[in-house]
Structure 1
Amino acid sequence: MAVLDQYTYVFAIGTFFALLDAYNNGANDVANAWATSVSSRSVSYRQAMVLGTVFEMVGAIAVGARTADTIKNGIIPTAAFQNNAGVQMLAFTVALAAASSWVMWCTKHSAHVSSTYSLISAVAGVGVATAGAAKVQWGWNKGSGLGAIFAGLGMAPAISAGFAATIFMLIKVTVHMRKNPVPWSVFTSPFFFLIAGTICTLSIVYKGSPNLKLNAKPGWYVASVTMGTGVGVAILAAIFFVPFLWTRVIRKDASVKWYHVFMGPLLFKRPIVAEAEQARVPNYAVVQHDEETEASGSDKDSQEMASSERDEIDLEKRQIHSNQRALESHQLTHKELVAAGREKMHAKMRLKRGPLGWAMRLLHNNPMGPGQIYEKKNMVTFMKRVPAMITVGALYGVHYDIHAAQTGIAGTPDGERMTKVYAHAEKYPNEVEHAYSFVQVLTACTASFAHGANDIGNSVGPWAVIYSAWQTGNASASKQPVPIWQLAVLSATISIGLITYGYNIMAVMGNKITYHSPSRGCSMEMGAAITVLLFSQFKLPVSTSMCITGATVGVGLCNGTLKAVNWQRVGLLVFAWIMTIPIAGTLAGVLMGILLNTPHFA
C-alpha cells in the first residue's frame, strides 16, 4: 500500500508520461539506430522490429539500471527537495511531461531530436523552478553534472565519426580497392566478425550487469573473455560462413539455401547444382526500379483472393492508372508533386492483401462528407472508419516505403539534392556488399543492445523516483535500485514506439544523410556502439542518435568529398539538438513554477 495515497493521481500521471517518453524513445532514437540497417537493405523494417525488440529488452533488463542513477540523482541533489516526497514526485512528472511532449511533436514533424537530452534539459528546468539555479549541478560533478552530460553533445558525434571512418577505411583498403574485391570480401569476413563479436561481448561483460556484477571482474578477466568470444565468433565464421559465402558468391551456385551454412567445409566439395550467370544475392542499391506488381502479390496469391477483394484491387488499379494519366497531362507544382508521391505510396498499400490493404481501401473509399462530425452521415461514416483507422495506425509503419521517402520525390529540390549526394558516392558490387550484410545484422543487434542498456535510463530514472517516493513517502528512498519490472515495461513500450511510429524518423535519416550500403552500415553501427559503450562506462547518458548520426557523416566523408554528405539535413539535425535544450528546459521550468505556486503544492 502506498504511503502517499493523496498523490496517487500524480503517480498515475507520471506513469503515463514515463510510458509516453519510452514510446517516443522507440519512435525516435531506436528508429534512428535501426535506420542504418534498413537503409542499407541488410534487414527489412519488419526484421528490424523483431530484432530491435529482442535486443532492446535484453539490454535494458540486463544492464539498463546503471545509467538511470545519473538522471535520477546527478542533476538535482535529493537534498534539494528537503525530504518533501510530494514535490519530488511532481518535479519528475513535470520533467517527463515536458520532454515527452517536445519529442512527440518533433517526431510527428519528422524532426529528429535526442530524447536523452530532452529529458536532461527538462530535469534541469524543473530543478531551477524547484530549488533554484544554485542547486542544479551545472558543472562536471564527478561525471554526473550537466557539464559532463552536455559535453557529449559535441564529443559523441565526433568520436563516433572517427571510429566509424576508421573501420570503413579498413574495409575500403582491404577489400573495395582491390582489382577483384569479391574473394577478398569472402575470406576477410571472419576478421570483421571478430571486431563485431568483440564489441558485442564488451556490451555484455565490460558494462556489466548489476545482478551479475560483471563490471567488478578484474581487467585480465574482461580482456580474456572479450577477445576469446570475438576470436570464437571469427573461427565459427571461418568454418561455416566462409564456405557458404564462397559457394553462393564465387561459385555462383543458385541452389544454396540459408540452412546449407551448417554444412561448413563440406560445401567446398559439394558439386554445383544450379550454376547461375550472376551470384544470387540481393540488390543493395538505394534507388531501385519500381515494380508496380510488387504490391499486389503473386499470381498464386491473386487466385487465392476472395472474389470481392480481387474486384476491389482491380478497381483500385484502374483508378491508379487514371490518376497517373491525369497527373502527366499538366506541369505539377512542388505541393502537387509531394502529394502525388504520397498518393503513389498509399496506392501501393491499397493494393496489398490482408488487414492493411483492406483498411487503406476502406478509408480511401469512405471519406468524411461535408459538414461537422455530428452530421448523421458523418457519424455513420466515422464509426465505419474507426476499425480501419486503428488497423492503419498499427500496421502503417510496417509497410511504409522507407527508401522512397529517403531518396526524395523526383522533380523536387529534395529529390535533386539526394541525386547529387548519391552521385558522389562510389557504388560497390552486390556480391561484395553481401558479405557485410551479415556482419551488419550482428552490429545492429549490438547497437540495439547498447541503446537499451544506455537510454532506458531516460524514462526509468524519473519513473523510479516517482514510484519509490509514492510508495515510501520519503524522498531519499529514490536511491533504491530500479525494479526489473519497470525496466521490462518501459523496454516493451520502446519497442512499440519503434514498430508503430518509427517510420517518421527513418524517412529522414539513413540515406537522407549519405549513401548507404552494408559495408558502410556495419562501420557506422560499430563506430556508434563503441562510442555508446565508452560513455556508458563512465555513467554518462549519451544520445545513441547523435552517435549514429556522427558515424554516418564520418563514413560519408570517406567518399573523399564533402558533396557526398547532405549537409542541409546535418545542419537541421544539429539545430534541432541545440534548440532542444532551451525549449525542453523552459517548458518544464515554467510548468513546474506554475504548479508549485498553486494552493495545493505551495
Structure 2
Amino acid sequence: MTNADGDPRHLDTLDRDLARYSNLETATSRVGRPMIGVGVSVLFVVVAGLAAMLLFGEANNLYIVVIAACLGAYMALNIGANDVANNMGPAVGANALSMGGAIAIAVIFESAGALVAGGDVVSTIAKGIIEPERMGTANVFVWAMMAALLSAALWVNLATWIGAPVSTTHSVVGGVMGAGIAAAGISAVSWGTMSGIAASWVISPVLGGAIAAFFLFVIESRITYRDDKIAAARTWVPILVGIMAGAFGTYLALKGLKQLVEIDLPMALLMGLFIAIVVWLVMIPVIRRQSAGLENRNKSLKVLFGIPLIVSAALLSFAHGANDVANAVGPLAAIVQVSQSGDFTSAFSIPFWVMIIGAFGISFGLFLFGPKLIRMVGSQITKLNPMRAYCVALSAAITVIVASALGLPVSSTHIAVGAVFGVGFYREWDAERRIRKARLAMPDRPQFAPEERRRRKLVRRSHFMTIIAAWVITVPTAAILSGTILFVVMSFTS
C-alpha cells in the first residue's frame, strides 16, 4: 500500500500515532480505575445514609443516625480493603487461586459469615474498653461512638494506602479508648483490658509464626526432603488435611457459629477431633488418586495442597465475616439503640439492616481496593507456594483456638501476617543451616560475600519494619484521632 506519491512511510507514521493513542488509553484506564473505586465507594456510603433515613424517618435525631450509617459504611469498606487480604493473600500468592477467584470466594463467604453468624452482641461499649456510665449523657456517648468509628476508619484507610495490614479490631479499640478519655478522663478506661490487647501485639504474630514454622518443618522433613516424595505425601497429606479440617471445625464452632448455637471449648474440640478423623479417612483414597502418575519432585506436591488451601481461605473468610463485621457496625448499632431508647449502658444487639451495611461494605471494599493488600501479603513479604500457604492458613485457625483456651485477646490480622513472617524466617534459618552444613562438608567451596548474603534474605525487611511500626502505633494513633475529633465536635455542639 502506498500513498498518491507511492511513498509507504505514511503507514509508519500511522502506526506510531495509533501506538500513542493506545498508550494514552492504557494510561487513562489506569488513572481512572482508582477514581471508579472511589466513586462506587461514595455511592455506597450515600445509599447507606439514605437507607438509614428511610428506616428512621420519624426519629427526632435522624441526622445523627444517618451520619453514623455513613461512617459505618465507610468503616466496612476499609475492613474489606485491608483485613480480608489476610485470608486471601496466601492462597493468591501460592497461585492456588487467581485474584478474581479469591475476590469472588471472599465476597460470598464474608457476606455469609456476617449475615448468618455475625449477629454479635457489642457488650456495653466496645467489649468493656470504657465504662459507659462515666460518659455522662446519651448525647456525649453517641458523639464518642461516632468519633471512634471515624478515627478507626481513617486509620485503616491510611494503613491500606501505605500497604500495611493492620488490626481493625485494635483500630476500633483505640478509637473507643481515645473518645472515652476525651469524654470522661483517663480513669474511665479499663486498663486491664487494654493491657491484654497490648500483650496481643506480641502474642498473636509470635504464636502464629511459630505454629506456621512448625508445620512447614513437618512438611519439609516428612515429605519434601524424602527420597520418595510421592509415597511420603500419600501418608502425610491426608493427616495434614485432617488436622486442618479439625482445626477449622473447632475454629468455626468457637468463632463463626456462636450466634447460632452455644458451644464451649471442650465441645468444640470434640467436634474438631471427629471432623479431623472423618476427613483423614476420606482423604486417604483421594490423595492416592490425585498422586497417581505424579513425578517424584517438589513441584508435583503443589497439586495435593491446592484444594485444601482454597477451602481454608473460604472458611477463614466466613469466620472473619462473622467476627469482624462488629468492628464496622458495632458502634453504629450502639448509636441506633441509643437513638431509639435512650439507653446507653446495656448491651447492644445489631439490627439486621445494620448487618447488611457491614456485609455489603466489606464485600465492596474487598472488590474495589483489596487486591493491593492481597498481593502484598501473598507475594511481597516472602515467596509462598501451596505448602507454605497451607501452613499460614492452618496456623491462623490453631492460634485462635489456643488463644481462646488461654483467654488471650488476639488479632486475626496479626496472626495471619505473623504466620507469613514465620514461614519466611524459618526458610531463612533452614537455608543458613544448609549453607553451614555444606561449608563443613566442603570447606574449600567459595562463600558468598556479606552483601550478597543480605541480598538473598527470604523476608523483605522493608515490609517487616513498616508492618511492625503500623501495628505498634495503631491503638495510640486511633485514640489520638478519636479524642481530637470528639473534642472538636463537642466544642461546636456544646
Which of 92, 98, 103 is residue 44 of structure 1 equivalent to?
Answer: 98
Query: Quick one: which amino acid aligns to residue 471 of structure 1?
Result: Q
Deviation at 1:208, TM superposition (A): 6.5
SS in 2 for 1:25: helix
Q: Write out aligned runs for 1:500-579 (5 A).
A: 500-535=368-403, 542-559=410-427, 560-561=430-431, 563-579=457-473
CA distance in 2, matches of 1:67, 1:177: 49
SS in 2 for 1:120: helix
Which residue of structure 1 lines up, in the alignment, with residue 268 of structure 2?
222
Which residue of structure 2 lines up, in the alignment, with residue 78 of structure 1?
132
- TM-score, normalisation: structure 1: 0.64
Contact 1:70 1:541 (C-alpha < 8 Å) held by counterparts: no
Alpha-carbon distance change, 480 to 164 in structure 1, aligned in 2, over 3 angstroms: same
Which of 573, 587, 592 is residue 486 of structure 2 equivalent to?
Answer: 592
Contact 2:197 2:409 (C-alpha < 8 Å) held by counterparts: yes
CA distance in 2, matches of 1:126, 1:234: 50
SS in 2 for 1:444: helix
CA distance in 2, matches of 1:237, 1:137: 48
Alpha-carbon distance change, 23 to 208 in structure 1, aligned in 2, over 3 angstroms: closer
Which residue of structure 2 lines up, in the alignment, with residue 26 of structure 1?
80
Which residue of structure 2 lines up, in the alignment, with residue 247 of structure 1?
292
CA distance in 1, matches of 2:421, 2:245: 24
Query: Quick one: which amino acid aligns to residue 5 of structure 1?
Result: A
Q: Write out aligned runs for 1:312-391 (5 A).
A: none
Contact 2:120 2:259 (C-alpha < 8 Å) held by counterparts: no
1:142-188 Cα distance to aligned partner (Å, 9 max, x none)? xxx21112211111000101111111111111101101213322442
Alpha-carbon distance change, 104 to 222 in structure 1, aligned in 2, over 3 angstroms: closer
SS in 2 for 1:516: coil
CA distance in 1, matches of 2:403, 2:117: 14
Contact 1:40 1:521 (C-alpha < 8 Å) held by counterparts: yes
Which residue of structure 2 lines up, in the alignment, with residue 59 of structure 1?
113
Deviation at 1:4, TM superposition (A): 9.3
CA distance in 2, matches of 1:227, 1:3: 51
Query: Quick one: which amino acid aligns to residue 569 of structure 1?
Result: H
**Is 1:438 aligned to residue 307 of structure 2?**
yes
SS in 1 for 2:190: coil
Alpha-carbon distance change, 466 to 195 in structure 1, aligned in 2, over 3 angstroms: same
Contact 1:207 1:214 (C-alpha < 8 Å) held by counterparts: no
CA distance in 1, matches of 2:208, 2:58: 45
Contact 2:120 2:349 (C-alpha < 8 Å) held by counterparts: no
Q: Percent of aligned positions with the same letter in both sequences?
A: 27
Deviation at 1:34, TM superposition (A): 0.9
Query: Quick one: which amino acid aligns to residue 244 of structure 1?
Result: R
Contact 2:196 2:409 (C-alpha < 8 Å) held by counterparts: no
Which residue of structure 1 lines up, in the alignment, with residue 226 of structure 2?
178
Which residue of structure 1 lines up, in the alignment, with residue 323 of structure 2?
454
Query: Quick one: which amino acid aligns to residue 162 of structure 2?
Result: H
Alpha-carbon distance change, 109 to 580 in structure 1, aligned in 2, over 3 angstroms: same
Alpha-carbon distance change, 8 to 561 in structure 1, aligned in 2, over 3 angstroms: farther
Which residue of structure 2 lines up, in the alignment, with residue 370 of structure 1?
none
Range that drifts further, 485-494 or 41-50: 485-494
Which of 48, 61, 70 is residue 16 of structure 1 equivalent to?
Answer: 70
CA distance in 2, matches of 1:85, 1:3: 20
1:461-506 Cα distance to aligned partner (Å, 9 max, x none)? 21111111111122234x1432344334312221221111012212
1:318-352 Cα distance to aligned partner (Å, 9 max, x none)? xxxxxxxxxxxxxxxxxxxxxxxxxxxxxxxxxxx
Counting helix residues as a fraction of each chain, which structure ranks higher?
A: 2
RMSD between superposed Cα atoms in Å: 2.5
**Is 1:96 aligned to residue 142 of structure 2?**
no
Contact 2:234 2:284 (C-alpha < 8 Å) held by counterparts: no
CA distance in 1, matches of 2:125, 2:487: 20
CA distance in 1, matches of 2:229, 2:254: 35
Alpha-carbon distance change, 572 to 469 in structure 1, aligned in 2, over 3 angstroms: same
CA distance in 2, matches of 1:538, 1:464: 29
1:105-145 Cα distance to aligned partner (Å, 9 max, x none)? 23123233322222211111101111111101122xxxxx2
Range that drifts further, 97-106 or 481-490: 481-490
Alpha-carbon distance change, 480 to 117 in structure 1, aligned in 2, over 3 angstroms: closer
SS in 2 for 1:476: coil
Deviation at 1:575, TM superposition (A): 0.9
Query: Quick one: which amino acid aligns to residue 242 of structure 1?
Result: I
CA distance in 1, matches of 2:293, 2:319: 32
CA distance in 2, matches of 1:541, 1:15: 28
Query: Quick one: which amino acid aligns to residue 209 of structure 1?
Result: L
Alpha-carbon distance change, 131 to 483 in structure 1, aligned in 2, over 3 angstroms: same
CA distance in 2, matches of 1:95, 1:101: 10
CA distance in 2, matches of 1:212, 1:504: 34
Contact 1:160 1:528 (C-alpha < 8 Å) held by counterparts: yes
CA distance in 1, matches of 2:302, 2:187: 54
Query: Quick one: which amino acid aligns to residue 249 of structure 1?
Result: L
Alpha-carbon distance change, 596 to 97 in structure 1, aligned in 2, over 3 angstroms: same
Alpha-carbon distance change, 488 to 445 in structure 1, aligned in 2, over 3 angstroms: same
Which of 200, 211, 236 is residue 282 of structure 2 equivalent to?
Answer: 236
Q: Which runs of 5+ in 2 are unaligned?
A: 1-54, 433-456
Relative contact order higher in (CA < 8 Å, ≥ 6 apart): 1
Alpha-carbon distance change, 30 to 517 in structure 1, aligned in 2, over 3 angstroms: same
1:269-324 Cα distance to aligned partner (Å, 9 max, x none)? xxxxxxxxxx9xxxxxxxxxxxxxxxxxxxxxxxxxxxxxxxxxxxxxxxxxxxxx
Q: Write out aligned runs for 1:132-151 (5 A).
A: 132-139=185-192, 145-151=193-199
Deviation at 1:92, TM superposition (A): 0.8
Range that drifts further, 241-250 or 450-459: 241-250
Which residue of structure 1 lines up, in the alignment, with residue 252 of structure 2?
204
Which residue of structure 2 lines up, in the alignment, with residue 493 of structure 1?
361
Contact 2:256 2:319 (C-alpha < 8 Å) held by counterparts: no
CA distance in 2, matches of 1:514, 1:243: 31
- Aligned length in residues: 414
Q: Write out aligned runs for 1:153-168 (5 A).
A: 153-168=201-216
Contact 1:67 1:536 (C-alpha < 8 Å) held by counterparts: no
SS in 2 for 1:597: helix
Q: Write out aligned runs for 1:276-295 (5 A).
A: none
CA distance in 2, matches of 1:537, 1:481: 26
Query: Quick one: which amino acid aligns to residue 110 of structure 1?
Result: G
Deviation at 1:522, TM superposition (A): 0.6
Query: Quick one: which amino acid aligns to residue 197 of structure 1?
Result: A
Contact 2:87 2:316 (C-alpha < 8 Å) held by counterparts: yes
Deviation at 1:63, TM superposition (A): 4.1
Which residue of structure 1 lines up, in the alignment, with residue 445 of structure 2?
none
